[in-house]
Structures are given as C-alpha cells and as structure tokens.
Amino acid sequence: MSPDNLKIFSLLAYNGLSHESGELSNELWSIMQLDKNLKVVIQRLAPSISQEIEGNSQKEKALYVVLFYERSFPDSIAKLKVDNVCKVLNDGLQGYF
C-alpha cells in the first residue's frame, strides 16, 4: 500500500462522516470497508483540541485519527483502540493549540 493510497482512503473515510449536502454530520466517528480486505475507522478529536487561533478570532479546524485494519480484525477492538488514541491526544494536546 502506497502513501498515496492511504491519502485517498483517508479522504474516503472523511467523506463517510459527511452528509450528502457536504456538511459534516454530528457523528464523531465512522467505520467503513474500503476493499475486500481493508477497513478504516475515523474519529474526530475533541473540539477544544481542534481549534486554530488566527489573530484575535478562533476558527475551528477539526483534527481526525484514522486507523486502517484488516477485515478479519474485530470492529469493536479497532474502535476501542481509536478511542484510546483519541483520549491520549485529547489529554496530551491541551494547551498546544
């Protein structure tokens, strides 16, 4: 798998969080199957982490964790792993943005 494929698959996962209108849903995570052997789970970090400060105004810029895994790996374990990564990032990145 090439880095370009991972970028394309990441965009597909990101689009999986979007409505048909193109707006992001209120869902914070999604699991989808990309091909016969590859799945992905994507989860948005907490909004307080996903902020970019521009001058005096704050503009929200969402950050996501994307985890690729084989189809035989249980979805529940993949979700648990991405939850744990997001928790560590949410706790560890406080104050950096």
- Domain residue spans of the chain: 3-92
Average the pLDDT over 45-52 and give the result: 60
Place 10 in a pLDDT band, splitting at 50, 70 and 90: confident
- Calculate the dihedral angle through the C-alpha atoms of 4, 18, 26, 75, rounding to the nearest 10 degrees: -50
What is the spatial order of strands in the sheet that 64-70 belongs to?
Answer: 29-33, 38-44, 64-70
pTM of the model: 0.71
pLDDT tens-digit readout, 58-87: 555 778 899 999 999 999 999 999 999 999
Segment 11-47, tens digit of pLDDT = 888 887 765 444 555 668 889 998 899 999 999 887 6
Q: Are 31 and 78 in contact (CB under 8 A)?
A: yes
